[in-house]
Chain A
Amino acid sequence: MIVNRLIEKAMEKAQGAQASLGQSESTDVSFENDRLKSAQSSQSTGMSIRIIVDGKLGSSHTTDIDDVDGVVARALEAAEFGSPVHFEFPGPQEGPDVRVYDDAVVPVTKGEMVRIGEEMMTLVKEYNPHILINARTGKSVSSIQFANSSGIAYSTETTNFAVGVGGQWIRGTDILLAGHGFGWKKREIDHVEVARRAIRLFTMAENIAPIKSGDMPVVFTPEGVKVLLLALILGFDGKNVFLGSSPLAGKLGEKIADETFALTDNPLLDYANGSGTYDGEGVPHQVTPLIEGGVVKNFLYDLDTAGRAGTKTTGNGIGCSPTNLVIKEGDTPFEEIVKSTEEGLLVHNVLGLGQGNPISGEFSVNVQLGYKIEKGDIVGRVKDVMLAGNTYDALKNIAVIGDKAEWAGGSLLTPPIQIARLSVVAK
């Protein structure tokens, strides 16, 4: 393997090294404005190395598979002025079983991908011919080789398949954007269901419902839960915790959310986008509970950050970021949550997430796709509405959690969540 050659070359001068080589072939077809617009094939190669010299770390990468000497030389130069290391490269360890490769992805032709897009487009058009439609289908097959100077050497292959459909519905100066998509490591995606979900979002938005400013109960759809999750992703990042920029620093074991709330990082779900046997440092993946019963259980670490913080890696290298996040189901069906709401907001999609100071938990977003709930019914779409609050306050203020978790994208599995009160500003 090429990565072994990289390690050999690096170890002539270094005391430790890790190398990886990723290669991928992908195909995408895309529909724009009701018609097939383009088809694309992509071939990519990337080779990276991290090395330790005299206790300091340097890194480099390249797209040129033949440039073994060059990439090693540049990493050596970086290591000379590099950052002090707080870890040793791990030795080989047995990894958990998780499926990340599906044979059925490989033979899918561009023609078949076109057909999937056309079928989704036709369904949305049948619902409403005035919607201007975009759709896409994509697949990829990738391989990764990994090795380090402590004896790890392995290679894996993964596949990916994704479809999506959405559109614009313009009435006068009112522009409505909605859509649905899903992608994971498996061929099996019900594209008809994907189109139906997109249609449902449009159907619920047929009427525009006026809404008054004020505090009110807010239900987040699985997609909408991302509004609450962003602060947690930053907050559970072990580096932010170590550096003290996370508001969760020092709160291990503390209750920060309603006791019905549980959040887990789970890289062992078959075919999910964030799944795999090992992380980017050759460490076996593991399931890490982050919040249980509202209490902070763990943070996410990679090797170096764990070393700095005096703890163990959770297999979230490189970068302390989550793999797949899973929120525990509650016991109330979504329909019942809506039915029991006298007046409130259902939030599916927002604009402006992550602007400002997201790590503090504060959010102030424009509701791009959200619905008014009135006397237990979804009565229409809201317009020109801002939603503001703080994730950490909201989590203590959970009214109810839905009984059915759904994928929102390929790496978040969550039920809908209702927050008892959030501030809504309407124009």
Chain B
Amino acid sequence: MRERIEKALRKSDAEYTEIRIEAVTSSWANFSGEELDSIGSAKTVGGIVRALVKGGWGYATFNDLSALENRVKEACESARLVGKEESKFAEVEPVVDEITATMEKDFRQISLSDKRSVIEDYNKIILGYHDRIETSNVAYSDSFRKVWYGNSEGTYIEDERPNAGVSLSATAREGDNVQRGSESVAGSAGFQVIEGLQEKAEAAARRSVDLLSAPPVTGGKYTVIINPRLAGVFAHEAFGHLSESDFVYENERLKELMVLGKRFGSDILNIIDDGTIRGLRGTHKYDDEGVKTRKNYLIKGGILVGRLHSRETAAKMGEEPTGNARAISYQHQPIVRMTNTYIDRGDAAFEDTIRDVKLGLYAIDMVGGQTSMEMFTFSAAYGYMVRDGKIGELVRDVVLTGNVFETLMNIDMICDPVEWPPVGGGCGKGGQSPLPVALGGPHVRIQEVVVGGRQQ
């Protein structure tokens, strides 16, 4: 493949050209209710050429590899149509490297029937948990992605990216009241990641049943304690997306808003994105521009100290590339994305966070999150009221929302230790979803959070 890529790259007359080719084998099985819904496997091969001329980008994506050189020409033509100014693209040292994945249990060696029987067990646990359980959805999927990357500067990388995951969801019903409990697990370490999850299956079922009798949270402003998984969502949704430089680099007003050295939180707040942490879903040795990943402090001691870059945004902002240009597949160009994002540990204990709270909310896990620049909203899977320093009743439909800048300032307690829940799913941006990322953090307390819901 190296020869083919390099030969095609030589056909380019652009200032910079890269080719990324991927071959993916994948399989899936899922149950909804008593029955297996779908089972199968797939093979995809495809690629993308990206060319830069006078600051303009041309892309060509394809499934048919036979005309690679023509695709290079097409991308160059597109780039020439677009380019009208001077290209800015940060320098990086060319690398040649080959990364092979090691899986304890290689899921490619496991038969569809074995994959099926693992989830069938989880499905039975959910359906048999309680007579209020109406139905279930248990889905297994895996993919083994081999990536060949070469660019016109001499970088050539072969990378292997395995991923296996299972999602477990239970639906409980009582008349018109329908509630769901979900758990998911995903990782790159092999098939063993999705084995032994009987307790998680039961937890999903238990939650769906418990939520039937839980009242919706009353909307209003609360002191909110978020658990580690939500803290990770908060780091990612509320702040991480804003530190992606493609939002900022050509936007003078946002640059003023996001100027390095500006205070965003109190001294205790540290937010980090780190693509090098072993075993996490957002970890890769190189990003999709062949740039080495690294640990990037975004907020240190409450102060904005860094942001995430591609080679283009780094050059345009006069900063260093950070290894955060990622693409979900060959059908997409790399854009600035997070890897593993977390709020670093503080020194509080969980008990400290609730002791002096008269009326508050302990929000747990997440079922979704979305941001639009400074506005964020995320949904906790469930929560407990905190009353007079004690954990109270279970509540449902917990949606936290607000303005990022105000909310970060309102973080007043951070616990120890940082946890990395091995959940599935991923991040969506610019039509690319889901990108595997990891979200981590400790328990965190935030004052004055707007919680959606009906008022009483």
Listed in ascending order, the chain A residues whose CB lies under 8 Å from chain B are 29, 32-46, 57-65, 67, 70-71, 74-75, 77-78, 80-84, 110-111, 114, 132, 168, 170, 173, 175, 177, 213-215, 239, 242-247, 308, 351-352, 354-357, 359-360, 362, 364-366, 368, 384, 386-389, 392, 423, 425, 427
Whether the Cβ atoms of B63 and A351 lie closer than 8 Å is no
The 4 closest A-B pairs by CB, nearest first: A355-B368, A355-B379, A352-B377, A39-B78
Q: How large is the interface on B (under 10, 10 to 19, 20 to 34, 35 or more residues)?
A: 35 or more
Whether the Cβ atoms of A170 and B253 lie closer than 8 Å is yes
Interface string of B430-456 (1 = CB under 8 A from A): 000000000000000000001011110
Interchain Cβ contacts under 8 Å between A and B, 28 examples:
A32-B250, A33-B250, A34-B250, A36-B84, A38-B56, A38-B59, A39-B78, A40-B60, A44-B61, A44-B63, A63-B46, A74-B43, A81-B111, A82-B36, A82-B39, A83-B39, A170-B254, A351-B401, A352-B379, A354-B368, A360-B178, A366-B377, A366-B401, A384-B375, A384-B402, A384-B450, A386-B399, A388-B219
Given contacts A77-B112, A243-B134, A364-B453, whether A38 and B57 have CB atoms under 8 Å apart is: yes
Whether the Cβ atoms of B396 and A80 lie closer than 8 Å is no
**Which of the listed residues B111, B116, B373 has the most CB atoms from chain A within 10 Å of its own CB?**
B373
Considering the complex, give the chain A residue whose CB is closest to the CB of B253: A170
A residues near B216, Cβ cutoff 8 Å: 362
Interface pick from B169-177, B186-194, B387-395, B410-418: B169-177
Whether the Cβ atoms of A425 and B450 lie closer than 8 Å is yes
Asked if B397 is at the interface of the complex by the 8 Å CB criterion, the answer is: yes
Shortest beta-carbon distance from A250 to chain B in Å:
10
A residues near B78, Cβ cutoff 8 Å: 38-41, 110
Whether the Cβ atoms of A67 and B43 lie closer than 8 Å is yes
Distance between Cα atoms of A36 and B83 in the complex (Å): 8
Interface string of B239-260 (1 = CB under 8 A from A): 0000000000011011001000
Whether the Cβ atoms of B113 and A365 lie closer than 8 Å is no
Whether the Cβ atoms of A355 and B377 lie closer than 8 Å is yes
**Which of the listed residues B45, B113, B178 has the most CB atoms from chain A within 10 Å of its own CB?**
B178
Shortest beta-carbon distance from A52 to chain B in Å:
13
Shortest beta-carbon distance from A303 to chain B in Å:
13
B residues near A67, Cβ cutoff 8 Å: 43
Given contacts A33-B251, A81-B116, whether A357 and B397 have CB atoms under 8 Å apart is: yes
A residues near B134, Cβ cutoff 8 Å: 243-245
Whether the Cβ atoms of A43 and B62 lie closer than 8 Å is yes
Q: Which of A37, A40, A351, A388 contacts B453 (CB 8 A)?
A: A388
Whether the Cβ atoms of B373 and A352 lie closer than 8 Å is no
Distance between Cα atoms of A175 and B375 in the complex (Å): 9
Considering the complex, give the chain B residue whose CB is closest to the CB of A114: B81
Distance between Cα atoms of A413 and B38 in the complex (Å): 32
Distance between Cα atoms of A41 and B79 in the complex (Å): 11
Considering the complex, give the chain A residue whose CB is closest to the CB of B257: A173
Given contacts A36-B84, A70-B43, A425-B219, whether A364 and B250 have CB atoms under 8 Å apart is: no
Whether the Cβ atoms of B176 and A64 lie closer than 8 Å is no
Q: Knowing that A58-B40, A64-B45 touch, tell me 10 more A-B residue pairs with CB under 8 angstroms.
A: A39-B56, A42-B331, A45-B64, A62-B43, A74-B40, A78-B41, A110-B81, A170-B251, A351-B372, A356-B379
B residues near A65, Cβ cutoff 8 Å: 64
Distance between Cα atoms of A70 and B23 in the complex (Å): 15
Distance between Cα atoms of A210 and B60 in the complex (Å): 48
Distance between Cα atoms of A81 and B104 in the complex (Å): 25
Distance between Cα atoms of A388 and B38 in the complex (Å): 35
Shortest beta-carbon distance from B87 to chain A in Å:
13
A residues near B75, Cβ cutoff 8 Å: 41
Whether the Cβ atoms of B455 and A214 lie closer than 8 Å is yes
Whether the Cβ atoms of B453 and A78 lie closer than 8 Å is no
Whether the Cβ atoms of B42 and A352 lie closer than 8 Å is no
Shortest beta-carbon distance from A81 to chain B in Å:
4
Asked if B276 is at the interface of the complex by the 8 Å CB criterion, the answer is: no
Whether the Cβ atoms of B177 and A360 lie closer than 8 Å is yes
Whether the Cβ atoms of A386 and B219 lie closer than 8 Å is yes
Distance between Cα atoms of A42 and B401 in the complex (Å): 38
Distance between Cα atoms of A384 and B399 in the complex (Å): 13
Asked if B91 is at the interface of the complex by the 8 Å CB criterion, the answer is: no
Whether the Cβ atoms of A245 and B171 lie closer than 8 Å is yes
Q: Which of B60, B171, B454 contacts A388 (CB 8 A)?
A: B454
Asked if B180 is at the interface of the complex by the 8 Å CB criterion, the answer is: yes
Distance between Cα atoms of A215 and B453 in the complex (Å): 12
Distance between Cα atoms of A38 and B246 in the complex (Å): 14
B residues near A45, Cβ cutoff 8 Å: 63-64
Whether the Cβ atoms of B56 and A60 lie closer than 8 Å is no
Whether the Cβ atoms of A386 and B401 lie closer than 8 Å is yes
Whether the Cβ atoms of B455 and A59 lie closer than 8 Å is no
Considering the complex, give the chain B residue whose CB is closest to the CB of A24: B63
Whether the Cβ atoms of B178 and A359 lie closer than 8 Å is yes
Whether the Cβ atoms of A351 and B42 lie closer than 8 Å is no
A residues near B369, Cβ cutoff 8 Å: 352, 355
Given contacts A38-B82, A425-B219, whether A357 and B61 have CB atoms under 8 Å apart is: no
Shortest beta-carbon distance from A241 to chain B in Å:
11
Q: Which of A61, A75, A364 contacts B399 (CB 8 A)?
A: A364
